[in-house]
Structure 1
Amino acid sequence: MQHYCKNCSVYTKQKYCPLCKRKLSDKTGDNEYYPVYETKVKRRRFAQRLVLFIAIFGISTSLLINLLTNPERLWFLYVLGPVLYGVLTINHTFLSRAHTGSKVILQVISLSVMLFILDAASGSSKWSIHYVIPFLVTLATFFVTMIVLRKPMKWREYIGYMSTMVILGFLPVILFLSSWSTVLWPSAATALYALLTLIGMILFSEKTMKNEIVRRFHF
């Protein structure tokens, strides 16, 4: 049994406080674990703000140097993309307690944006739109599908994220139809995989899950 010293705000297994030497009662504190939890939350929030400040400092510094030295060539974009992606990865993927599905979706979106920025900065050959982004969407959809297949009880928990990944799977085709992309097969393959995933969700899920899927996609 742990004893709590209100005078020093410490817990101990001893009957006397190790700091003030007062005799402690057998009654523990009312919120024994809350101070520890609040401390972890404060530390996590401080780390997130520190990462954001460092990112803002790095981006603004590189932008200023770029404008002062070579304003015709915006090389600071090579800094902007990776730094923004790094902030989201650290603050949302590692330091956040967000759902795994949410982390996967934001990773796909942020990584796609970063690669698009790097693509534009390097001359806009559109390699990110043609090949990389469709591959990332397919890989992320496969990853979420594997999570659900390994733990079928998480179907209801992941259905919203699976639906979002299916929708993102048709995005490369939309980019192709709008002439942003000129290479068809990666976009078509991603859309086909998204369609097969949707069909699999409908065929192999339980009746309640099927109704939920039909409701979300308005069949």
Structure 2
Amino acid sequence: MKYCDNCKVSIEGKWENCPLCQAKLSGDDKEQEDTFPVITFVYKEHTKFFKVMLLISIIIASISVSLNILVPQRAWSLFILGGLGSVWASLITAINKRNNIPKNIVYQVMIISVVVIVWDLLTGWKGWSLDYVIPFICVFAMISMAVISKVLRLHIEDYLLYVIIDGMFGIIPIIFLLIGFLNVLYPTLICIVGSIISLSTILIFEGESLKVELKKRFHM
């Protein structure tokens, strides 16, 4: 164990300088282990992968913009740039929320929903984003949460609020249905019915857990 002559304290761990006064420590630390664990970051662990991904994205973006300048019929390169940006936004969100899979799923649903609506608008608005994509990803998210919670044996508190959020998000398309924004009805009807069943199941069987979780989260 090392010793600080200035602070008159013994220091555990592989320190070269005193953490209090930064003075040089005396003694030996050959049999000492670090006091604090070494924390690794996913970005550092997979640096090569992210560098390759970044290089590929830059190459695709550069070639697309260059070709679009040579053939200036439409600004199609903007869609490729938007697609690359969407992929990176989804990838970064997935990595940052990797320790909380239910929250990760909710974030992905929101990101994809915004991206497809913007994409639909930029391509002349065909309505495919509201007709198909958003309803199906909401249903897929609910099914994924149910399967993952069982496989990983998650506690109800770990994913309860995220199921509620996704269920409420899945009911929103009823607004588009009522105001006549939809061209195809069955995906939205499947999404709405699935969301109602999911929310009803939680309220009926997990009502008390939901109250406890809401009180804990919102300090009620």
* TM-score tier (shorter): 0.5 to 0.7
Alignment size in residue pairs: 195
Distance 2:49 2:80 in 1: 19
Alignment of 1:136-215 (within 5 A): 136-150=137-151, 154-205=155-206, 208-212=208-212
- Alpha-carbon distance change, 41 to 115 in structure 1, aligned in 2, over 3 angstroms: closer
Post-superposition CA distance 1:135-182 (Å, at most 9, x none): 111111111123334566521111111111011111222223344323
CA contact (8 A) 1:105 1:161 kept: yes
- Alpha-carbon distance change, 184 to 199 in structure 1, aligned in 2, over 3 angstroms: same
One-letter amino acid of the counterpart of residue 183, structure 1: V
Matched, 1:26 2:31: yes
Shift of 1:108: 1.9
Unaligned runs of 5+ in 2: 1-12, 17-27
Distance 2:177 2:49 in 1: 37
How many percent of aligned residue pairs carry the same amino acid? 20
Shift of 1:126: 1.8
**Mean Cα displacement is larger for which, 168-177 or 132-141?**
168-177
One-letter amino acid of the counterpart of residue 209, structure 2: M
CA contact (8 A) 1:55 1:87 kept: no
CA contact (8 A) 2:61 2:80 kept: no
The answer for the alignment partner of 2:4 in structure 1 is none
SS of equivalent residue, structure 1 residue 124: coil
Q: CA RMSD in A?
A: 4.0
One-letter amino acid of the counterpart of residue 124, structure 1: W
Matched, 1:76 2:81: no
- Alpha-carbon distance change, 133 to 66 in structure 1, aligned in 2, over 3 angstroms: farther
Shift of 1:54: 5.6
Q: Give TM-score scaled by structure 1 length.
A: 0.67
Distance 1:127 1:42 in 2: 35
CA contact (8 A) 1:62 1:79 kept: no
Q: Give TM-score scaled by structure 2 length.
A: 0.66
